[in-house]
Amino acid sequence: MKVLVPVKRVIDYNVKVRVKPDQSGVDLANVKMSMNPFDEIAVEEAVRLKEGKEHHAAGTATEIVVVSIGPAQAQETIRTALAMGADRGILIQHDATVEPLAVAKLLAQVVAEEQPGLVIMGKQAIDDDNNATGQMLAALLDWPQATFASKVELTGGGANVTREVDGGLQTLTVKLPAIVTTDLRLNEPRYASLPNIMKAKKKPIDVKSPADYGVDPTPRHMVLKVTEPAKRQAGIKVESAADLVMKLRNEAGVL
C-alpha cells in the first residue's frame, strides 16, 4: 500500500516568535525553520508501517510519498522526510501563503494522481494553528477521517485508530482509503542517521506548481494586521505558604 505524507516547513518549535513593528506579520527573516513537529510524527508512523516496527506488520506500507507545498526551501523539509525513510517527494512550489483549503485542494489532486491507500498528516501546523487541512482533504475526497490519532493499527482494508478527545480516548475503525491526522503521543520521531541523510540526497523530488493541478491558491482571508497579545506583568514573590494563602484569600479573593 502506498502512503502519502504531507509535510509543512514552519518556524522551528523552539524559536521565540517576534511580531513585526509594522504589524504585517511575524518576523521570519534569518529564523530557523524546521518540519512541523506533528508532520514529523506522521512521517515516522509511515516509516514504521513500512519497516514493520512496533505493532505494524512489515511491508504494510510499500512506498512512502512525501508532498510539501511552499517555497523552494521546502525541498529541505522533504529531504528530512526522505532521510527518515520516505521514498520520494513532490514539491508544489508557491512562495505566498497557501491556506488549508487550497492545500487540501492541491492534496486532493495529488491523491487522485498517486492513489495512496492512506494519508497520514499532522493535526495542526504550529505557525497558523488552524487544525483544518486533514479534515478538509477528507471532505474533498469523501473519505473517512480519524483525527488526533494516538494509535494506528492497520487491518485488512481498514484501520483502527485511537483518538485523543476531550476527557479521554475514542477508538474508531475507518475503511481505507482514509485520512489520519497525528497527535503527540502516536510515536517519537527518529533522528535521521548520517548515511540515511546521504542516501536521501539521491532520492527523487518532483517540482510542480499549483497551476499544474489546476488549483487557485489565492487566500480567502485577508490579514489586516498581526499584533502582539497583551503582555502579562510579572507580579510579586511570596516567601511562605502562609503568605501565599493569605494573599490568595484576601488580596486576590480567589480562594
Q: How many residues bind another protein (CB under 8 A)?
A: 81
Which listed residue (19, 33, 197, 205) binds another protein by CB under 8 A? 19
- Is residue 222 a contact residue for another protein (CB under 8 A)? yes
CB of 24 to another protein, least distance (A): 11
| The three three-digit cell numbers of residue 81, written as one number | 522526510
Least separation in angstroms between residue 83's CB and another protein is: 23
Footprint (CB under 8 A) of another protein, residues 128-147: 128-140, 143-147
Residue with cell 475503525: 173
Contact between residue 38 and residue 125 where contact means Cβ atoms under 8 Å apart: yes
CB 163 within 8 A of CB 150: yes
Tell me the closest approach of the beta carbon of residue 169 to another protein, in angstroms: 5
CB within 8 Å of 167: residues ≥ 6 apart: none
In the complex, the smallest distance separating the C-beta of residue 44 from another protein, rounded to whole angstroms, is: 15
Q: 151 to 210, contacts with another protein by CB under 8 A?
A: 160, 163-175, 178, 183-185
Tell the smallest beta-carbon distance from residue 51 to another protein (Å): 23
Do 1 and 117 touch, CB atoms closer than 8 A?
yes
- Residue whose CB is less far from another protein, 120 or 136: 136
Scan residues 50-109 and list those touching another protein (CB under 8 A): 99-101, 104
Contact 89, 205 (CB under 8 A): yes
Q: Tell me, what DSSP letter sits at residue 131?
A: -
Task: Give residue for cell 492497520.
Answer: 154
